[in-house]
């Protein structure tokens, strides 16, 4: 892990801890989702910094990060499988395929990617606000609490907490 990765990892960990705290304390969905989205964006940027070049400044990246982990070199595949608790790398590849739609939804929570729709920070639509994040029931939150979503949350937790173990893959 290089020094740039370490800075981004530290911020991702802090965002993730804030998410875990808010969820534990029963905070509103918008605040939990806000920190979860930020944690995924930052862990992706921490990963991209492995090249030594700055990643794009936008709020996306988590999807590309997952996709890229699905094509690591053969010698790193077993390590990644062990870390993320998949028995075979093929299982991980298949899992990525099913997890990506939800990962896109998570990425699109960022206000500048939300197309003036549901986001965890600002009332929408911008020109005639009709909804507030604090009172909105987010469909993605319900998905994250069940099957496929819970599994994505499990993987996100591992990706953040154990970043040094795959930062160089």
Residue 48 touching another protein (CB under 8 A): yes
Cβ 120 vs Cβ 31: under 8 Å: yes
| d(C-alpha 109, C-alpha 130), whole Å | 17
Within the chain, where are the H helices? 3-24, 29-48, 62-69, 74-84, 89-107, 139-144, 147-161
Q: Closest distance between another protein and the C-beta of residue 57, in Å?
A: 7
Binds another protein (CB under 8 A): choice among 25, 26, 57, 137: 57
What part of residues 113-132 is at the interface with another protein (CB under 8 A)?
113-115
Which of 34-42, 49-57, 83-91, 147-155 is the region at the interface with another protein (rule: CB under 8 A)? 49-57
Inter-helix orientation angle 147-161/29-48, to 10°: 50
Tell me which residues touch another protein (CB under 8 A). 48, 50-53, 55-58, 60-61, 63-64, 67-68, 70-71, 73, 93, 96-97, 100-101, 104, 108, 112-115
């Amino acid at each position: 892990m290089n020094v740039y990765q370490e800075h981004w990892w530290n911020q991702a960990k802090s965002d993730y801890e804030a998410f875990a705290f808010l969820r534990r304390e029963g905070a509103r969905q918008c605040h939990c989702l806000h920190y979860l989205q930020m944690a995924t964006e930052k862990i992706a940027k921490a990963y991209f910094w492995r090249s030594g070049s700055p990643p794009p400044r936008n709020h996306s990246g988590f999807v590309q990060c997952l996709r890229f982990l699905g094509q690591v070199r053969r010698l790193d595949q077993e390590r990644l499988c062990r870390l993320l608790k998949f028995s075979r790398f093929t299982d991980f590849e298949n899992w990525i395929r099913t997890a990506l739609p939800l990962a896109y939804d998570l990425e699109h929570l960022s206000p500048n990617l939300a197309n003036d729709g549901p986001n965890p920070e600002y009332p929408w639509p911008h020109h005639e606000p009709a909804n507030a994040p604090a009172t909105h029931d987010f469909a993605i939150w319900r998905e994250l609490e069940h099957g496929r979503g819970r599994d994505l949350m499990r993987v996100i937790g591992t990706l953040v907490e154990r970043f040094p173990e795959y930062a160089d893959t």
